[in-house]
Amino acid sequence: MNRLFNLSIILALIIGCSGGKEMTETTEITVPLDELISGSILPEIYKTADTAVDTVADTAVDSVADTVAVSPDLDGNEAFEAYLEALVRSATEKSTPELAAELALLRNAEKVPAENLNTASALLRNYVVKRYGELIVKDLQTMLGFQTYAEEGRENWMAPEFLRQREWLSSKADELGLGFKTYDGRVDEFTLSGPEAVLAVLTHGDVQGVEGQEWSSSPWTGDIVDGKIIGRGTQDDKGAVVMTYYVLKALKDTGWKFNHTLKLIISNGEESSWEEISYYQERAPEHEYTIGIDGEYPVTHAQKGYGLLTLTSGEISMSKKKGEWTVLLMSGGFGGSIIPEKGEAIVAGVTNSLNRLTELARAWESENPPAKFTLTSEKGNVKLIAHGASGHSASPESGHNALGDLTAFLASLDLTPNSWGVLTMHLGRYIGTETDGASWGIAHTDSVMGSMTTNLAIISVEDGNPTALVNIRAPRGITAEQVEAAVNKRINKINKEYGSALSLSMTLGPYHFVPTDGKLVNTLLEVWEEVTGEPGKPVAIGGGTQARLFPNGVDFGLSTDEKHYRGHGADEYMRPEELFMAAELTISAILRLTTGE
C-alpha cells in the first residue's frame, strides 16, 4: 500500500469525502466549544470519513486521526500542524467560528495563552493517545524484556541488563529528538530543553525480582492476556517511563514554548539503594517541580516512614526444655517490600510426626482462612510449606503473608526453645497474621496518613544465625525510639523466659508530607477532575517513593487503588487504556504547570 501522500491531499481527505462523494448534510458534526474543552467531542471531529477512501494514492483512510496523527509519512511537528489545520477546517465547515478562531490561534502561537489552556489541553490529550498510544504499548513490551533487578553483591549501574536498557533508552531519545544523559548509570535522563527552571517527571527503570513467585505468563515478555499487559515493571515503573517520554515527544511536536525545561528522570536503584538520587542531585540543576509517577492517583502528597527491623537469634544459654516439636530451619521471602507468597520450615517431631503435624495444620487452616499448608516427609523430618499471595508490603491487603501463617501456626505448637524456636515463638506471638503492629505494641493511626503496617518480609540464616526482617510503614506521630522500646520490651520478655539471645537492630526513616494548598497539588487535582470527570482528594500512602527525596515532591499515579497494588506481585499488569489515561493526565499537568505567568 502506497502511503506517500502530501499534506494538501491529507487535508482534502479531512475536509471530507466518503467513497469519492462530497460529504452531505447528514454527516456533519456540530462542535460546541465547551464539549471540545471537555475532551469528549474530539474523537467525533475525526469521523469526517468513516469508511475507507481508496481514491487517493491507494490509501485506506478510516478516520482523520489515522490519516493525520498516526501517519508515518509526517514527522511529529508536521503531524501536529496537520492535525490542528484539520480541526480548523472542520470547525469552519461546521459553522463554529469561535472554535475555528481559537484553534487557528493555537496553530500559530509560540506559547499557549492562559485563556486557551483548556482547549490546548483537550487537543494534546487526544493527540498523544492517537499518535503515540500504540507505540507506548509496543515500547513497554520491549522495555519489559530488560531484566533490571538488583542482585546481591553487584551494583545496578553497570550490570549487563541495565547497560542494555540504557543503550536502548539512549537510542529511543535520539529517535524522538530528545536529549539524553546518564549520570554514571545511576540515573538516566531525557530532556526537552527550555528555560532555566526545571519540571521533572520522576520514574525508575529497575524492578523487583520474581524469585519465589508463580506467574501465569512470562514476567519478561509483556504478553497481552485478557486486555492486560503482563510483566514485571508494567505498573512499577516502566509503564511510567515509556508513557512519559512519549508525552515529552508530543509536547515537542507542538513547537510551543514552555516556561520550563522538561525532564524525565529514570532512577536505577529505587527498589534497592536510593543512593543514586543524592548522586544525581549533587550534579543536576534543582527542580522547581518534581512529579513522581510511582505512587497513587489523584495526588500522593504524604508518605509514611519506611522502617526495617532485623531480629537475630543467638545461642540459648539457659533452657534445657525439650518441646514436642523442634524447628530445624526456616526460610522465605526475598525483598523487604514484598509480601512473601511462600515460606518453608523443617520440623522434627514425635513418631508419626507427618500425620500428626498434618492433622494440626489442617485444623489451624480451618480456623485461619485463607491459610494453606503443604506437608511432606524429608529425611525423617517434616517439610512444612506455607502458601500465600505476593503483594506490596505497604498494602497488606494486596497479598497474603505466607511467613505470617507459618510462624503463627508453629508458635501454636509446643516448640523446643532453640535459636529457631525462640525466633519462631516471638514472630508467631507478636506478628504472625497481624499487619498493624498491635501485638508488638506499635499500632498507631494518623488522621491523614492512616495506620502503621507491618510485613514479615524475610526469614533466613545470616552469619550462621536465624534472622528475620520486618518492614514497617510508620505514619507521623510515632518515633523510632518508641518503636524500638516497644519491640525490645517483648524481646526481653522471651529472652528472660528462655535464656535466649534474641536481639533487634532497626532503621526508620522520616515520613514525607507536602501541604495541599500549593500550586502543584492543586493543579494536579484540577487535571485529575478534567480528565476523569471525578473530583479528587490528596492521598497518603504507605509505599516509599523517591519523590520524598525532592523538596515538595509529590506522586501522580500510576496506581488508582493502593489496597490492590499490582507492583511487586505475580502477574503485575497494566491495561493499555490505563497507560493512555496516564498519558492524558501527565501531558495536561505539564502543560498547565509550564504555561502562563
How far apart are the C-alpha atoms of 147 and 119, rounded to whole Å? Answer: 41
Q: 521 and 486 share a domain?
A: no
The residue among 508, 532, 559 that closes a domain is: 508
Domain boundary among 475, 490, 508: 508
Considering the domain architecture, whether residues 394 and 347 belong to the same structural domain is answered as yes
CATH number for the domain including 321?
A: 3.30.70.360
Q: End-to-end CA distance of the chain: give it in Å, rounded.
A: 48
Residues 540 and 570 in one domain: yes
Q: Do 274 and 335 fall into the same domain?
A: no
In this structure, the answer to whether residues 336 and 479 fall within a common structural domain is yes
Domain that holds residue 459: 306-508
- From the list 193, 390, 156, 149, the residue with the least C-alpha distance to 285 is 193
Write down which residue in 493, 508, 523 finishes a domain.
508
**Same structural domain for residues 435 and 340?**
yes
Verify that 541 and 486 share a domain, yes or no.
Answer: no
User: Does residue 185 contact residue 169 with C-beta atoms inside 8 Å?
Assistant: no
pTM of the entire predicted model:
0.78
Asked if the structure places residue 516 within a domain, the reply is yes
Q: Report the domain count for the chain.
A: 3
Q: Around Cβ 577, how many Cβ atoms within 10 Å?
A: 11
pLDDT by 10s per residue, the chain, length 597: 332 323 332 333 333 332 332 332 322 223 333 333 333 333 333 222 222 212 212 222 224 444 555 677 788 899 999 888 888 888 888 778 888 899 899 988 999 999 999 999 999 999 999 999 999 999 999 999 999 999 988 899 999 999 999 999 999 999 999 999 999 999 999 999 999 999 999 999 999 999 888 899 999 999 999 999 999 999 999 999 999 999 999 999 999 999 999 999 999 999 988 899 999 999 999 999 999 999 999 999 999 999 999 999 998 765 567 899 999 999 999 888 889 999 999 999 877 789 999 999 999 999 999 999 999 999 899 999 999 998 888 888 889 999 999 999 999 999 999 999 999 999 999 999 999 999 999 999 999 999 999 999 999 999 999 999 999 999 999 999 999 999 999 999 999 999 889 999 999 999 999 999 999 999 999 999 999 999 999 999 887 899 999 999 999 988 887 556 787 788 999 999 999 999 999 999 999 999 976
CATH number at residue 541: 3.40.630.10
| Residue 71 and residue 214 in one domain | no
- Strand order of the sheet with strand 342-348? 372-378, 381-387, 342-348, 326-332, 453-462, 465-474, 305-313, 502-508
Residue 124: inside a domain: no
438 & 412 share domain: yes
Both 346 and 413 in one domain: the answer is: yes
**Under a CB-based contact definition with an 8 Å cutoff, are residues 519 and 541 in contact?**
no
Interatomic CA distance for residues 61 and 68, integer angstroms = 10
